[in-house]
Amino acid sequence: MEMKTRVVGDVHILEIAGRFDTNTVPPVAAWLEQVTAAPKARVLVNLAETTFVDSTALATLVQALKRCQQVQGDLCVCSLRRPVYMIFELTRLDKAFNIFVDEEHALQSLNS
Amino acid sequence: MLVALLSSQYQRFAAIAEAWLAQGASAFGVFQDGHPLIYWPSSHRLARPSLSVPITQDEQPIADLRVAGVTGMAAELRLRADAALISYLLQLEHDLQCMTADLVTSQDQQLALYRLSQSMRDHVTVHETLRSLVAEGMRMTKSHAGFAAFIPKHGQDPLLVKSSESFLSDEMAWRIYWHTRSLEHAVSLPDPDGDFPLLPGIEDLLAVPIRVRGSIMAGMAMANRAGGFGTPDMKLMQAIADQASAQIERMLLYQEMFDQAKLRTEMDLARRVQLDLLPRQLPQIAGLDIYATSRPAYQVGGDFFDFIVNPGRPFVFSLGDVTGKGLSAALLMTMTRSAIHSKAQFMPFPTPEAVMRQSNEDLYNDFTRVGVFATVFVGQYELGSQRLIYANAGHAPVIYRPFDGPAQLLRADSTAIGILPVSHCRNQTLNMRPGDVLVVATDGFSDARNAHDETFDIERLIDLIDQLAPRTAREIADAMFETVDRFGGGRNQDDDQTLVVIKGAAS
């Protein structure tokens, strides 16, 4: 797993490439914890290059989403590959997360 | 040194003087910088010697050997021979002093290194070792400041321990460390040939890299020694660095063994919690063939299944997976299982939807605090109804295979427990006629990996259940484990594998 982070405007963007699972969660969790501590934190997790997510990875994203909500911020995910989207759909996490087809649409929503 | 030699060999010098006086000299003596150090007879100050030759040390004249009252070639030759002999004695005395000093230094260093190893022996962390390294290093090299640094390999925070000298900032220490590391050898400052500047407050400095497990992972530096650092200090620092290297390697090994033992204890405990709480007997329900089992991974997760059988009430079963690993997952699993169990057992009119909604309400705040959720499937069967009512909070894979149709994946109808403050679970209904099969498994099956890093996936599970449907519940479960194990090809199980298989049977 590789993670890349950048900031566009005031949106923190995280890109995760490869397997996002129990073994690779710690650096992502640490980064999310840091950026979601700020008031009105806005975070976008780009999963375009993510090939697999397990339940620990999903729990990490859910935890970050809840922390964002607590500080009146927002967290979105975008660009999910088919197998990853299927996991979100199967577990109905599509009801909890705002999921966008690409980064552009996600940024539009986060900046509106 | 000449004065020391004259006093220690006084009798011999006196004998030489006597010989000169016996041969007609009026006086004999040794002078340094124009002042007499020793002379015979005591009444003669040798102010005007008739002959004077230099006594040398390292080929430099350091004093004069003088006589008065004799002249001539023979006398001069003899005086030169005496002076050469005294010069030679001086050289021997100097060599002896150097050897003695080296011996004392070496003994001091051996003693200091022994004390260093003794003081390090009781440490159990690398941080403590570095602290001792700085304190002992400063004491042994007589430096006024020092630091030691360690960069762990697995992404943990770097460690830096400094002496209390205020001029040595963290930034300066790290600059020196990285400079030493890049050169891969000791660095002495000031360095007239190098381009590394002397940082503010540092008069002189000696830094050495420390190799740990074959690569440079640590380093130490001592600064501001009165008189600067010489070759013996360099050797001493290297000896300290070697000692530190062995000690840090011991610490790392100890830490790894400790972590492994801790993990093993925790996992054993988690496994016991998980397995001891699972039902020990399968329920006998008319119209259903039931089998359930759980196989924890080495890093135990939070899987569970449960049966609630009460006379006069519908049969209820649950299966769930709490996120996370180890003891925390096992404890949260017991919370979830108990919440569901008590509601299914004691609610006046329990339905899967009501059980799930109430459990979500109970667990949401705690789960939010610790950042976990639990996917849960709850099923309810009214005796003789041939229908199963269920609610699925984010759980997958759940596969239903009617006796007269292909296997299909049942999607969850709400998010897992602990994700949203209100559960949107609804009661769903499935036929449970003879031959209908329901398999509720955990992601330990679908996420199982083989040597090529491929996952078993839900599609393979669906195909597998299509093939296994004619068998009994127990046989279906056994074949699922066998197939997933074969797919893994001996690879360690990443996650718990838990399943409940329910098959409609003739009542």
Judge whether B492 and B448 are in contact, CB under 8 Å.
Answer: no
Q: Is the pLDDT of residue A111 over 70?
A: yes
Cβ–Cβ gap B411/A92 under 8 Å: yes
Q: Which range, B276-290, B387-401, B480-494, has the best average confidence (pLDDT)?
A: B387-401
Q: How many residues does chain A have?
A: 112
Asked whether residue B405 carries a pLDDT value surpassing 90, the answer given is yes
pLDDT digits (tens, 9 = 90+) for A56-108: 899 999 999 999 999 999 999 999 999 999 999 999 999 999 999 999 999 99
Instruction: Choose among A83, A86, A95: nearest Cβ to B415.
Output: A95
- Residues B38, B162, single domain; the answer is no
pLDDT of residue B47: 80
B219, burial (CB in 10 Å: exposed 0-12, middle 13-18, buried 19+) = buried
- pLDDT category of residue B435 using cuts at 50, 70 and 90: very high
Q: Judge whether A18 is closer than 8 Å to chain B, CB to CB.
A: no
Query: Would residue B111 count as lying in a domain?
Result: no
Q: Which of A75-89, B15-29, B197-211 has the lowest mean pLDDT?
A: B197-211
Beta carbons of A54 and B415 less than 8 Å apart: no
Regarding whether B76 and B209 lie in a shared domain, the answer is no
Residue B146, H or E segment: strand B143-150
CA distance B350 to B164: 67
Nearest to B412 among A56, A62, A92 (CB): A92
More confident residue, B498 or B199: B498
Mean pLDDT of B52-56: 93
Q: Is residue B270 part of a domain?
A: no
Cα separation, B307 vs B283, whole angstroms: 7
Contact A63, B371 (CB under 8 A): yes
Q: What is the pLDDT of residue B230?
A: 84
Distance CA B448, CA B490 (A): 11
Instruction: Kindly state the tokens that stand for B139.
Output: 């004491």
* CB spacing of B396 vs A87 below 8 angstroms: yes
B371 to chain A, closest Cα gap in Å: 5
Per the domain annotation, does B272 fall within a domain? Answer: no
Q: Are residues B143 and B289 in the same domain?
A: no
* Contact at CB, B411 and A22, closer than 8 angstroms: no
- Answer whether B416 touches A (CB < 8 Å): yes
**Chain B contact present for A54, CB below 8 A:** yes
pLDDT at residue B75 tops 70: yes
Residues B136 and B248 in one domain: yes
| Subunit contact B415:A56, Cβ cutoff 8 A | no
pLDDT of residue B155: 61
B443: nearest CB among A55, A86, A89: A55
B335-368, pLDDT tens digit by residue? 999 999 999 999 988 999 999 999 999 999 999 9
Phi–psi pair at B379, nearest 5 degrees = -120, 150
Q: Give the range among A38-52, B129-143, B284-298, B348-362 with minimum mean pLDDT.
A: B129-143
Q: Do A93 and B419 touch (CB under 8 A)?
A: yes
* CB distance A76 to A14 below 8 Å: no
Confidence of residue B45 (pLDDT cuts 50, 70, 90): confident
Least Cα separation, residue B414 to chain A (angstroms): 6
Read off the amino acid at residue A31: W
The total number of residues shown for chain B amounts to 507
Q: Name the closest residue on chain B to residue A90, using Cα atoms.
A: B411
Identify whether the C-beta of residue B337 lies closer than 8 Å to the C-beta of residue B276.
Answer: no
Direct distance between the N- and C-terminal alpha carbons of chain B, in angstroms, rounded to an integer: 114
Which of B191 and A87 is assigned the larger pLDDT?
Answer: A87
Last residue of one domain, picked from the residues B69, B103, B137: B103
Residue B233 belongs to a domain with what CATH number?
3.30.450.40
Domain shared by B495 and B368, yes or no: yes
Name the nearest CA neighbour of B324 among B335, B316, B312, B314: B335
Indicate whether B264 belongs to any domain. Answer: no
Tokens for A69, please give them: 């909500």
pLDDT of residue B289: 97
Q: What is the per-residue pLDDT for B226?
A: 84
Partner-chain contact B412 A87, CB within 8 Å:
no
Bridge pairing between strands B60-68 and B51-57: antiparallel
Among B359, B350, B330, which Cα is nearest to B418's? B359
Q: What is the DSSP string of B338-400?
A: HHHHHHHHHSSS--HHHHHHHHHHHHHHHHHHHT--EEEEEEEE-TT--EEEEEEES---EEE
- Put simply, the answer to whether A58 touches B323 (Cβ < 8 Å) is yes
Q: Under DSSP, is residue B317 helix (H, G, I), strand (E, B) or coil? A: strand
Residues of A in contact with B324 (CB under 8 A): 56, 59
Average pLDDT, chain A: 93
B282 DSSP 8-state letter: -
Residues B114, B115, B121: CA angle, nearest 5 degrees? 90
Tell me what percent of chain A is helix, strand and coil, each rounded to the nearest 5.
Answer: 45, 30, 25
Between helices B231-277 and B326-346, what is the axis angle to 10°?
A: 20
| Segment B113-161, tens digit of pLDDT | 787 777 777 777 888 888 888 988 888 888 999 999 998 876 677 899 9
pLDDT of B307: 97
State residue A49's pLDDT score: 96
Would you call B396 and A66 a contact, using CB atoms and an 8 Å cutoff? no
* Res. B298: pLDDT tops 80: no
B239-268 pLDDT, tens digit each: 888 888 988 888 888 888 888 888 888 888
Judged by a CB distance cut-off of 8 A, whether residue A30 touches chain B is: no
Same domain, residue pair B76 and B171:
no
Is residue B455 within 8 angstroms of chain A, CB to CB? yes
B435 in the same domain as B287:
yes
Residues B468 and B357 in one domain: yes
Same domain, B130 and B175: yes
Please answer yes or no on whether A90 and B443 come within 8 Å at the CB atom. Answer: no
Angle at A26 between CA A24 and CA A31, to 5 degrees: 115
pLDDT for position A92: 93
Domains of chain A: 2-111 (3.30.750.24)
Q: Residue B130: CA atoms inside 13 Å, Cβ hemisphere, count?
A: 22
**Domain span at B442:** 278-504
Quote the pLDDT of residue B65. Answer: 94
CA torsion sign for B268, B274, B277, B281 is: negative
- Say whether residue A66 is in contact with chain B using an 8 A CB cutoff: yes
Cα torsion through B201, B205, B210, B216, rounded to 10: 70
Last residue of a domain, one of B71, B103, B135: B103
Task: State the total domains in chain B.
Answer: 3
- B242, amino acid identity: D
Residue B383 included in any domain: yes
Residue A98 with chain B: CB contacts under 8 Å: none
Nearest to A97 by CA among B282, B415, B151: B415
Same domain, B65 and B133: no
End-to-end CA distance of chain A: 31
Question: Residue B500 pLDDT > 90, yes or no?
Answer: yes
B368 touches chain A (CB under 8 A): yes
Please give the residue that has the higher pLDDT: either B477 or B242: B477
Query: Is residue A2 less than 8 Å (CB to CB) from chain B?
Result: no
Whether B413 and B488 map to the same domain: the answer is: yes
Whether B126 contacts chain A with CB within 8 A: no
**pLDDT exceeds 70 at position B181:** yes
Q: Which residues of B touch A84 (CB under 8 A)?
A: none
Q: Are residues B382 and B453 in the same domain?
A: yes
* Inter-chain touch A55–B412, beta carbons under 8 Å: no
Confidence of residue B442 (pLDDT cuts 50, 70, 90): very high
Are B344 and B379 within 8 A, CB to CB? no
Q: Does A95 touch chain B (CB under 8 A)?
A: yes
**The pLDDT value given to residue B254:** 85
